[in-house]
Amino acid sequence: MERIRHHFEVERELAQRLRNSTRDERTKLFKTLYAELFQRVPDHPRLTRRESAASSARNVEAQLKLLRPLLAPDITLLEFAPGDCRLAYAAAKLVKRVIGVDISDQHATDDTCPANFSLEVYDGYRLAVPDASVDLVFSYQLLEHLHPDDVALHFESAWRILKPGGAYVFASPHRYSGPHDVSGHFSNYCECFHFQEWTYRQMFQLLKSHGFAPVYIFRFGKVQKSLWFRWLTLGLESMMGLFPRAAQRRLSTRLFQSVTMVASKNNHR
């Protein structure tokens, strides 16, 4: 617990530096903060955890489960923050083209890069992908890491690059069962590199403000398109919102682990 406390204090300090930064400052901080974190917390789980091949395959399959209903041999898929790119490599077997977009190159060096995959390294803001050129956008455990001032730009970028009829599929931790980073050991609120975590209701409102419609919840292994399921989920979520924060976290652990959605670009803003 002493080492976890140290991790928390260091990450909270670095996160505060990022929270207080301007956009121009963040383009530089993105490249240095994690390096500083790992230097000051040498036993950070990202450095000490060794994922087995079987565990890695399960993680890839869990993410593919979100995408499979929308994959087709003639589409272009873009993944924000692909990390080691293993999911992107797996998806490349099922689609025409895959584009990875990240602020650094973290691809797995022990895998052969598919011919129909390309990685776009950018500054987090200026994305050199043409308008209406992508059929499907995907992110997994990314949105919670966005600076609050950068959330709008992210969804604007996703909207811009999507073709009409395309969709953005994403999964991000649910606010009520969080915080899901190291903050959760010591606080009921995000204080570290998870800058915000959302509820379904908040995310519906955010997506609507950026022109996405229709928007569906992905739960129990499939896209839930019925209105009754949406209102049932939002009603249950509203009930959880009435509890004190500590009780809310406990009760939501099984009910609301993530906000997982499919947001379509089928209308005009």
CATH of the domain at 147: 3.40.50.150
Write the DSSP symbol of residue 113. P
Mapped onto helix, strand or coil, the DSSP state of residue 209 is helix
Q: What is the pLDDT of residue 186?
A: 95
* Residue 101 located in a structural domain: yes
* Residue 55 located in a structural domain: yes
Global pTM value: 0.93
Q: What is the pLDDT of residue 28?
A: 87
Residues 94, 74: Cα–Cα separation, whole Å: 9
* Residue 237 located in a structural domain: yes
Strand (E) or helix (H) holding 102: strand 97-102
* Residue 269 located in a structural domain: no
Domain that holds residue 230: 2-264
Q: Residues near 62 by Cβ (< 8 Å), separated by ≥ 6?
A: none
pLDDT truncated to tens, each residue of the chain (269 aa)? 899 999 999 999 999 999 999 999 998 898 888 889 999 999 888 877 766 667 788 889 999 999 999 999 999 999 999 988 999 999 999 999 999 999 888 776 667 789 999 999 998 899 999 999 999 999 999 999 999 999 999 999 999 999 999 999 999 999 999 999 999 999 999 999 999 999 999 999 999 999 999 999 999 989 999 999 999 999 999 999 999 999 999 999 989 999 999 999 986 65
Strand (E) or helix (H) holding 151: helix 151-161
Q: What is the pLDDT of residue 239?
A: 96
* Residue 7 located in a structural domain: yes
Q: Label the pairing between strands 258-264 and 162-173.
A: antiparallel
* Residue 49 located in a structural domain: yes
Q: How many domains, in total, are found in the chain? A: 1
* Residue 144 located in a structural domain: yes
* Residue 67 located in a structural domain: yes
